């Protein structure tokens, strides 16, 4: 195949376009190691956030329960002091005893409530500390992978810039209307705007082409001949 005719040049443009598509696809891809490391970081971050939220909730419960416990203990002591001063008969004495008993039972309830809360707080604190340690340990590994990926993407983009420059130079030698129509066809036809035909068949849609279409397309002249089935430009490649 020579590179002198407009269709040959357009076919070369398409080869470069397909190479650019490939590079773009590679750039969008994420290496497995980096994907796994990012997923692990997200898992740690989510678990740490959950642990910290739960720890904050438990801390609030602890503070409120400790406050209630302290207040109730003060009430017990105050009523005992008042009992000594004011309990002049059995009835008043009994009233104070009942009140002190109720308050003492409430103290016990608060103490029993605090025990598992303290345990839960300790567990969550340890969990959060462990997750922070995992995050610190993962950071340099993930950072290294991110740097490698930046280098990979940079190399792909540099290669794409060279290919794009070649593509644009060749496209500049072709009639703009032909290139524009090719771009529209390629966009609509899964990346192929111009296809060869061999054995009388369009290599874009595999339809058997009429003889007169084959003959006109084989001449390689403008206006470019299109496949009557898929609408792509047709080109006869040299053996």
Residue pLDDT tens, the chain, 239 long: 344 699 999 999 999 999 999 999 999 999 999 999 999 999 999 999 999 999 999 999 999 999 999 999 999 999 999 988 887 788 888 999 999 999 999 999 999 999 999 999 999 999 999 999 999 999 999 999 999 999 999 999 999 999 999 999 999 999 999 999 999 999 999 899 999 999 999 999 999 999 999 999 999 899 999 999 999 999 998 76
Q: What DSSP element (H or E) covers 10?
A: helix 6-28
Residues carrying CATH 1.10.287.1490, the chain: 13-171
Strands 233-235 and 201-202: unpaired
Contacts 24+ apart (CB under 8 A), 33-41: 33/145, 34/142, 34/145, 34/146, 34/148, 34/149, 37/138, 37/141, 37/142, 37/145, 38/142, 40/138, 41/135, 41/138, 41/142
- Residue 84 has a pLDDT of 85
Output the pLDDT for position 4. Answer: 65
Q: Are 205 and 228 contacting, i.e. CB atoms less than 8 angstroms apart? A: no
Distances (CA, A) of 183 to 26, 152, 188, 212: 22, 28, 9, 26
pTM: 0.75
Fold designation for 13-171: Helix Hairpins (1.10.287)
């Amino acid at each position: 195949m020579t590179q002198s005719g407009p269709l040959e040049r357009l076919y070369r443009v398409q080869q470069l376009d397909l190479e650019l598509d490939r590079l773009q696809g590679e750039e969008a891809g994420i290496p497995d190691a980096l994907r796994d490391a990012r997923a692990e970081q997200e898992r740690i971050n989510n678990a740490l956030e959950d642990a910290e939220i739960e720890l904050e909730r438990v801390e609030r419960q602890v503070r409120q329960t400790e406050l209630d416990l302290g207040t109730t203990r003060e009430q017990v002591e105050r009523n005992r002091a008042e009992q000594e001063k004011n309990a002049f008969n059995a009835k008043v004495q009994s009233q104070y005893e009942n009140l002190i008993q109720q308050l003492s039972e409430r103290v016990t309830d608060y103490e029993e409530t605090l025990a598992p809360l303290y345990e839960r707080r300790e567990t969550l604190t340890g969990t959060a500390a462990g997750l922070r340690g995992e995050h610190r340990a993962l950071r340099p590994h993930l950072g290294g992978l991110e740097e490698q990926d930046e280098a990979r993407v940079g190399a792909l983009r540099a290669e794409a810039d060279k290919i794009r420059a070649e593509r644009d130079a060749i496209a500049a030698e072709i009639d703009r209307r032909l290139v524009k129509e090719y771009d529209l066809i390629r966009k609509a036809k899964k990346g192929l705007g111009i296809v060869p035909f061999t054995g009388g068949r369009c290599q874009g849609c595999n339809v058997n082409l009429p003889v007169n279409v084959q003959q006109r397309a084989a001449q390689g002249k403008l206006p470019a001949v299109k496949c009557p089935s898929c609408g792509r430009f047709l080109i006869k490649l040299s053996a």
